[in-house]
Amino acid sequence: MGVLLEIKNLNIEYLGISNEISSTVAVDNVSLKINQGEIYALAGESGCGKTSIAKAITKLIPIKSGEILFNGKNIFEIKKEYPNFVQMIFQNPYSSLNPKMKIKDILKEPLDINTTLNIQEKKSKIEEILFETGLKSTCLNLYPHEFSGGQRQRLAIARALILSPQLLIADEPVSALDASIQAQILNLLKDLKQKKNLTILFISHDMSVIKFLSDKIGIMNNGKLIEENYAGTVFRLPKEDYTKKLLNAVPVLKNFE
């Protein structure tokens, strides 16, 4: 398994709104590697820098220093074709889907911008991705507000996968969903990973979700990557006290007496 994404000494800062307010360090000298075909989970509490790393990989925010390499090439040297390689699912599907667009237009737009497919090829691609994400073609003439939260997240996944990316970034994709719907979405991501040989960067503060899904885990705290290992090892033999606290915070269900 080759390295698909490599981050080297990444630093990200958010500038203060005035000269009197200093900048905030969001990511502090983070280095990591994500292998082709694996699910790598970034874990940690809110504000630890997980989402900043995801947004840097997708070029949504600038970096202060360091390198992000995709297939060995600096991502800032990859221009118009980059969306074909890397896509992201956001935490709130309703805010990431244009409420004024029908589903057929939401799914067609990435194909219009990033491909040279003809009308029939686009139609086939849309029908295929709907089937793979558990949606019906009858949804194409509806608007995002006409769906449940779980269905909207499936639509967000469909839109992210419509360009057949190699790397899918999932930023807290189930945290706003009910437990039963969470399980459906997580199983869907697992199935899609197998069928499409996807590489997934999964971001969450929920260690029980991460245990179910991930192959490898990186633990973030105050902008730093403090621990990294295969999932089984992190859960059995955590090294850092902070990691132990995260694991101890996972609720354990006991049988009623």
Give the Cα separation of 128 and 142 in Å (integer): 18
Give the Cα separation of 8 and 67 in Å (integer): 5
Q: Residue type at 30?
A: V
Q: At what angle do helices 119-132 and 103-114 cross, to 10 degrees?
A: 120
63, 55 contact by CB (below 8 A): no
Higher pLDDT, 241 or 177: 241
Name the helix (H) or strand (E) containing 104: helix 103-114
| pLDDT tens per residue across span 166-209 | 999 999 988 878 888 899 999 999 999 999 999 999 999 899 99
Name the helix (H) or strand (E) containing 132: helix 119-132
Radius of gyration, CA atoms only, the chain: 19
Residue 33 forms beta bridges with which residues?
6
Pairing of strands 65-70, 224-230: unpaired
pLDDT at residue number 141: 96
**Average pLDDT across the chain, whole number:** 92
| pLDDT tens per residue across span 2-21 | 999 999 999 999 987 666 66
Is the model's pLDDT at 65 over the cut of 60? yes
| pLDDT tens per residue across span 109-155 | 999 999 999 999 999 999 999 999 999 999 999 999 999 989 999 99
∠20-23-28 over CA atoms, to 5°? Answer: 160
Pairing of strands 73-74, 65-70: antiparallel
